[in-house]
Amino acid sequence: MIKKNYDSDFCGSLPLHQINLIQPYGYLFVANKSDLRIIQASENVNDLLGEPVDQVVGKSLEQFIRQEEADLLKGRFGSGIDEKVPLTINLTRSDAARRYIALVHVKSDYVVLEVEEAGDESTFLDVFQELKYVMAEINRAETVAAASKVVVEQLKKLSGFDKILMYQFDEQWNGTVIAEVKEDGMEEYLGHKFPASDIPKQARKLYLKNSYRLIPSREYTPVKLYPVINPVSNTFIDLSDCNLRAVAAVHLEYMKNMKIRASMSVRVIRDDKLWGLISCHHKEPMYLNYEMCSVFELLSSVISNKISSLESGEEYQFVNSLQEKKTQIIENVYSEKDLVAGMLKQDLKITDLFSAEGAAVSYRGSIETTGEVPDNEELKNLIYWLQSKPEDKVYHTSNLSSEYDFGSAFSKQASGMISIPVNADRGEYIMMFRPEVVTTVKWGGNPDEAINFDSNGVKYHPRSSFGSWQEVVKQTAKAWKEEEVEVAENLRSFIFEYSAKTL
């Protein structure tokens, strides 16, 4: 078990939205909604407009864009859409051939525009056919692994990134690389786990607002905003949904340690929750124009839907088979007119319902068992211990010895336990056991060294190596699924009633 959790404690509390700086691959304007007067802008607007920022601020955006574009922009204000909407603009002051994309964020008091040079007009059409093919390939995949492999391979072809991987979060927000394509000589992360603090919770939360995060070069000079304080809100402007937002220093160092200069990560969402990320690496700086980022965005929603439907399908089948087995066991109890015989003595036993290797039923003064279970004395002591738990709730663990002091003695056959209280006062329980499965977890670098503080205790650094670091996990069984715990709860209600009727 890894010991430290920097996710919620330290890394998770770094404020990302108030960084007040942007990356230099675009320009930022904040303007009044009423007259489009610019109230704040990034200091690099000089490159775009040929006027220093202190002269640009105070003027109206209408002085720089065409009237029809200004009208279109104003038209967006009342739409009620709170997502950033792209708008193509042509700057009247610059080379007429250059088109720009403005990402418009309509806020209650002002509007924020992120401006980037537009790509070649044909870019999207060029990739369109390729995209249709990729979408068909993704949809044909029959497993999450296969769909992930297709998406990383195809995105690598389309974008030219040196490495693309699919990263899936677990319940503790650690993540595992489940698909990877890369150039030769780059470190392999396939099958490796990374601790939650590598992408701490506030960084993960931003993917619910933004479908991707692009860092074209870690060696950039951040651009300040002018004036520093937003004159309407009198605070730093909230940049959380801006693509251009500058990058947290710790992550830039992380990229350096991973030996990459550019990165992009794209969300995979399931049931409104971040399921995973498609992470792209490049050894050299790599800029993707807005059109290409949109391709990633589109494929992110295609793969998200595919993964959702594959997983829902699997869950549906699993729940169905659990329900069928549960019904059969209840029928067995009725036909046998005996709880113990119905659960343990038929072709389909309660161990089959819970994919357990052993079960013990302590009922009406005796303990009957099937399969691999602790010995009788051990079972009795375990029951005393269970009596200290809530009497009206199923208890389950996949690491009994970490919760029950004497559990190590029988962890071979019973590292996992799910127990249904029938009548706790009388020590009546139905217990299912799963054996120990020793596993080796390959981490991308030692997770206990995920963050290292300098001796002054103020400065900190991410780990410097991502080489395979193995953790051997013992005394742990295959985890109980949520659906299995629910079935155990259903069964508890049935047994409770059955037992009351047959007293």
Residues lying near ligand BLA in the complex (CB under 6 A): 6, 10-11, 14, 16, 165, 167, 175, 177, 189, 194, 197-200, 203, 213, 215, 247-248, 250-251, 254, 263-265, 277, 279, 450-451, 462
Nearer to ligand BLA, 64 or 290 (CB): 290
For the beta sheet containing 193-194, the strands, ordered from the edge strand earlier in sequence to the opposite edge, are 212-215, 262-270, 273-282, 163-169, 175-182, 193-194, 439-444, 468-473
The one-letter amino acid at 148: S
Helices (H), 122-275: 123-140, 144-159, 201-205, 249-257
Shortest distance, position 214 Cβ to ligand BLA, whole Å: 8
User: In b/e form, how buried is each residue of 85-118, taking b as 16+ CB within 10 angstroms?
Assistant: eebebbbeebeeeeebbbbbbbeeebbbbbbbbb
Nearer to ligand BLA, 75 or 160 (CB): 160
Nearer to ligand BLA, 171 or 347 (CB): 171
Tokens of 77: 């204000």
Give me the DSSP letters along 215-241: ES-SS---EEEESSSBTTTTB----TT
The one-letter amino acid at 395: Y
User: How many angstroms separate the CA atoms of 412 and 396, rounded?
Assistant: 17
Shortest distance, position 329 Cβ to ligand BLA, whole Å: 43
Nearer to ligand BLA, 18 or 320 (CB): 18
Shortest distance, position 163 Cβ to ligand BLA, whole Å: 8
Shortest distance, position 460 Cβ to ligand BLA, whole Å: 6
Nearer to ligand BLA, 13 or 321 (CB): 13
Tokens of 171: 């319940």
Nearest Cα to 386, choosing from 367, 370, 372, 412?
A: 367
Nearer to ligand BLA, 80 or 185 (CB): 185
Shortest distance, position 257 Cβ to ligand BLA, whole Å: 9
Nearer to ligand BLA, 239 or 495 (CB): 239
Shortest distance, position 188 Cβ to ligand BLA, whole Å: 10
Shortest distance, position 114 Cβ to ligand BLA, whole Å: 15
Nearer to ligand BLA, 192 or 434 (CB): 192
Nearer to ligand BLA, 114 or 198 (CB): 198
- Longest alpha-carbon distance in the chain: 91
Shortest distance, position 165 Cβ to ligand BLA, whole Å: 6
The one-letter amino acid at 219: E
State which residue has the least CB distance to ligand BLA: 11
Shortest distance, position 7 Cβ to ligand BLA, whole Å: 9
The residues pairing with 81 across neighbouring beta strands, listed in sequence order, are none
Asked if residues 197 and 300 have their Cβ atoms less than 8 Å apart, the reply is: no
The residues pairing with 263 across neighbouring beta strands, listed in sequence order, are 215, 281
Tokens of 249: 């220093």
User: How many angstroms separate the CA atoms of 209 and 234, rounded?
Assistant: 24
